[in-house]
Amino acid sequence: MSVVIREVLIMAFTKEYWILLVLKQAPLDRIHIMKALFLIWHRSGRNITDYFEFEPYLYGPCSFEVYSVLGNLQSSELIVQPPHSLPKWVNYYLTARGKEQAEEAVKKSLPKTVRLIEAVIDEISQLNFFELLRKVYTEAPDFAVNSMFRGVIK
Amino acid sequence: MTLILGIPVKQGMVMASDGQVTTGQVRAQAKKLKKLNENCIWGAAGDFRLFERVEECIAAIPESEKGEPLQDLWTSLRDIVLKCVGDLVSPSQGSEPCQAIFVFAEYRDNPRILYILGNGQVQWQANIAFAIGNGDVFAHALLHKYQDLIIEKIDSKLATVIAYKIIAETAEAISIGVGPPIDVWQLPPAKNLSKEELTGLEETYLGLRKAEIELFLKGVKS
């Protein structure tokens, strides 16, 4: 499903707000957050002011800034990630303060913006790694050009 | 304890290390790779006190001299290592000389790797991926399958993925001495990957792990 509502996404949002809005819909790990933020941008005509800048990376679209913003949100105790000893994908969750901030972000958003985010999260939150990449690469093949996983997910 | 590895690539070199320091029963985190100049990164496996002392001495080398090729610098570096080993030996207590191996990886016109042992012994290599330190046997085994691809088919970006993957897998496999955070450098020019770039490599590594299992299972089913 592709929802293009370019005009409603022009409003200036902090990058932290975008991640809070995404996590308000469902707890997600880093790879799902990254691809959700990309699809939001892609489906809004690739035109959102002061948004994350994506590049075709080794696993498809990537904005390294997403990682630093996630770090900021963790430091601010707006999101948490359960401790894990081995490297693996682990979901981020909103804290109580994070939920309050996410509600604030919703109030500042236009309903169409919230609906777009809901639609994207609804579509991807239950997808596994390969299903997720397949969806993103199909929608935005120009961002799959450097991916190491193109052969595996065909 | 430490794991350091280096992968020569087309027009450059990638070096990576784990980030765990063990002192007695205490674990801490530290950066184990250092920049000598824009063309050379160095690190060491062994006694961390010795590494720190050598680092101080290298920092005291005048900048103009530090930028010289390894072929011109190696005697100074060897002398620093020998002096620092001597400083840490306490004859009155009859302590053993520090055990360590220092590795300097350089890329100018070609890759060049210099090893200096704690006893002053020196060895040179070129065009060969290497691993030193705790877990080097695991790392060599994991590196082996890429050996035929080095140098021609592996670029700097791919080498960062391989280096990250090998250190992460070794750290998971062995019980002590090697652990996060993983550090990765590229050269030339010497560039230490940012925290965000390293997170990107971790994501790629996690994806590759999944892909390997997926391919295996597909093969088993077919």
Between B180, B207, B215, which is nearest A59 by CB? B207
- The CATH-assigned architecture of domain B3-193 is 4-Layer Sandwich (3.60)
Alpha helices in chain B (DSSP H): 48-59, 63-66, 70-88, 136-144, 156-173, 195-221
**Best A38, A136, A148, A150 residue to mutate vs chain B (most B CBs within 10 Å):** A148
Interface probe for B, chosen from A34, A64, A127 (most Cβ of B below 10 Å), is A64
CB spacing of A62 vs B200 below 8 angstroms: yes
CA B119/CA B100 separation, integer angstroms = 9
CA distance B220 to B216: 6
Query: What pLDDT does A9 receive?
Result: 44
B206 and A64: CB-CB below 8 Å?
Answer: no
Q: Tens digit of pLDDT for each residue in A37-67? A: 999 999 999 999 899 999 999 999 999 999 9
Q: pLDDT higher for A68 or B22?
A: A68
Q: How many angstroms separate the CA of residue A145 from the nearest CA in chain B?
A: 14
Contacts of A109 (CB under 8 A, 6+ apart): A11, A13, A21
Q: What is the pLDDT of residues A94-145, one digit of tens each?
A: 999 999 999 999 998 989 999 999 999 999 999 999 999 999 999 999 999 9
Tell if the CB–CB gap between A129 and B210 is shorter than 8 Å. Answer: yes
B117 contact partners, CB below 8 Å, separation of at least 6: B100, B101, B102, B123
Question: Hey, where are the domains in chain A?
Answer: 6-153
Q: What is the CATH number of domain A6-153?
A: 1.10.10.10
pLDDT by residue for chain B (222 residues), tens only, comes to 789 999 999 899 999 999 888 777 777 788 999 999 999 999 999 888 899 999 999 999 999 899 999 999 999 999 999 999 988 876 655 566 667 899 999 999 999 999 999 999 999 998 889 999 988 888 999 998 888 888 888 899 999 999 999 999 998 888 677 788 999 999 999 999 999 999 999 999 999 998 888 878 876 665
Check if the interface score ipTM surpasses 0.95: no
The per-residue pLDDT for A18 is 96
- Chain A closest CA to B183's CA: distance in Å? 15
Residue B13 neighbours by CB under 8 Å, 6+ apart = B6, B7, B41, B105, B106, B107, B111, B186, B187, B188
Q: What is the pTM of this model?
A: 0.88
Which of B197, B204, B214 has its CB closest to that of A152? B214
A1 touches chain B (CB under 8 A): no
| Inter-CA distances, B96 with A19, A99, B69, B88, Å | 55, 58, 33, 9
Give the start-to-end residue ranges of the domains of chain B. Answer: 3-193
Handedness of CA A113, A118, A124, A125 (dihedral sign): positive
Residue A148: count other Cβ atoms within 10 Å of its Cβ: 17
